[in-house]
A = this chain, B = another copy of it.
Amino acid sequence: MRLSETFWILISSSTAGSMRVTLKDLAKKLGLSVTTVSRALAGYDDVAENTRRRVRQTAQEMGYYPNITAQQLRRQRTDTLAFVIPTHGPRLSDPFFSELLAGIGNEAGRHRFDLLVSTQPPDSEAEREAYRRIVHGRRADGALVVRTRQKDERIRFLSEQGFPFVAFGRSDLGIEFPYVDEDSYTGMRLLAQHMVDLGHRHFGFISAPAGLLFCRLRLDGYRSVLQANGFPANGGLVVSGDLAQRSGFRAAQELLGRTPRPTAIIACNDLMALGAMSAAQKMGLTVGRDLSVGGFDDIPLAEHAHPPLTTMRQPIYEIGQRITRMLVQLIQVPRGLSGEEEAPAERQVLLTPQLIVRESSGPPPGSA
């Protein structure tokens, strides 16, 4: 007796991980049917109290844990959300995604959903395949789409397939779908107007890939302010970047070489704005005095930059949480009793970013 017990322990530890305990094992041990064991563990009330206790006890002892894949197949549901991160170039150094992912990850966990992440270049065949795998391969129950683009094919695809998804960002497809977005246009207007109010007349703008919808909206907002204030079109030089810090650095170098030199530079996102500040400082300019700089997003670094960056606050972490919560609701609606009162699911949310004035912006040099 002693011997065989030891033997079993040896076996179970040396093959740990390959031979797992299944419902069948439990059933055999208990002299019950698999069905009963299953129901006992699931907490059905048509199982004798005593039986349930025995089953749970043994399950604990034998270290039973349900095979999730089998549950998924049987339930026809994965309890998983998919998040395909669009990564330009080989790496994603954008703190924006850190924030977002944290929000998404924490919220998904709260609702007991797993999160499947993949990183793919935007508009690539690999990205399309990733979505096919998710939708057709039923790899997840819903998807999160971020950084929406012009004529966004991801959104078209998911809509056509009737696959649950929520986007961070709107689109221009004429399709109705659930999203959360900040009002980039209005936000950028506020920022640009702030610079105008300070007395600036010569502007530089650091834009980003035209396909990104929020970039176009921000550029539009910027232009509309210049126009409304009667500045000539070339009163606003526009140089394109790729959202990374380095490109902001380069763009600013270019802008600051123009004549007349801009006294204010606005960038499409904080990262490029920080790059622009470096470029200016390298040229010996004091940011906030010789040159004003404005960004967009209010990433954590903005507050601690030197000088602290004037920017439009966008609650990225909260947006991550929110789109996740919306997606979970969307998925769970069909599961709920249709007769019940559900919290009315919000479908389209537009947030107005808040202007955060810090020391990187001030009156232009030579003004009263």
Identify the A interface with B (CB < 8 A). 13, 15-18, 20, 63, 65-70, 72-73, 78, 85, 87, 90-95, 97-99, 101-103, 105-106, 108-109, 114-120, 126, 132-133, 135-139, 160-163, 244-246, 249, 274-275, 277-278, 281, 299-301, 304-306, 308, 317
Contact = CB atoms under 8 A, between A and B. Distances in A.
A163 to B, nearest CB: 5
A94 B105 contact: no
Given A66-B137, A245-B300, 18 more contacts: A15-B162, A16-B160, A16-B161, A18-B162, A68-B137, A70-B73, A85-B105, A87-B106, A91-B99, A94-B98, A95-B95, A101-B101, A109-B126, A114-B116, A114-B118, A246-B300, A249-B304, A306-B306
Contacts of A249: 304
Contact of A274 (B114, B117, B304): B304
10 contacts: A13-B160, A20-B138, A67-B138, A68-B133, A92-B101, A95-B95, A109-B126, A116-B117, A245-B301, A246-B304
Nearest to A63: B136
A116 B118 contact: no
A102 to B, nearest CB: 4
Contacts of A115: 116-118
A246 B161 CA distance: 45
Contact of A161 (B17, B92, B97, B317): B17
A306 B20 CA distance: 56
Nearest to A278: B304
Given A95-B95, A139-B114, A132 B65 contact: yes
A132 B139 CA distance: 21
A278 B300 contact: no
Contacts of A106: 87, 90, 119
Given A16-B161, A90-B317, A109-B120, A65 B300 contact: no
Contact of A138 (B68, B91, B119): B68
A132 to B, nearest CB: 7
Contacts of A160: 13, 16
A187 B312 CA distance: 38
A102 B88 CA distance: 11
B119 A109 contact: yes
A160 B9 CA distance: 13
Contact of A105 (B67, B114, B117, B306): B117
A240 B20 CA distance: 44
A78 B68 CA distance: 11
Contacts of A102: 87, 90-93, 119
B93 A300 contact: yes
A114 to B, nearest CB: 6
Contacts of A68: 133, 137-139
A300 B89 CA distance: 14
Contacts of A126: 109
Contact of A117 (B117, B120, B277): B117
A126 B110 CA distance: 10
A135 B17 contact: yes
A115 B300 CA distance: 27
B65 A73 contact: no
A227 B17 CA distance: 47
Contacts of A93: 95, 98-99, 102, 299-300
5 closest A-B pairs by beta carbon, nearest first, are A105-B119, A65-B136, A17-B162, A68-B137, A92-B102
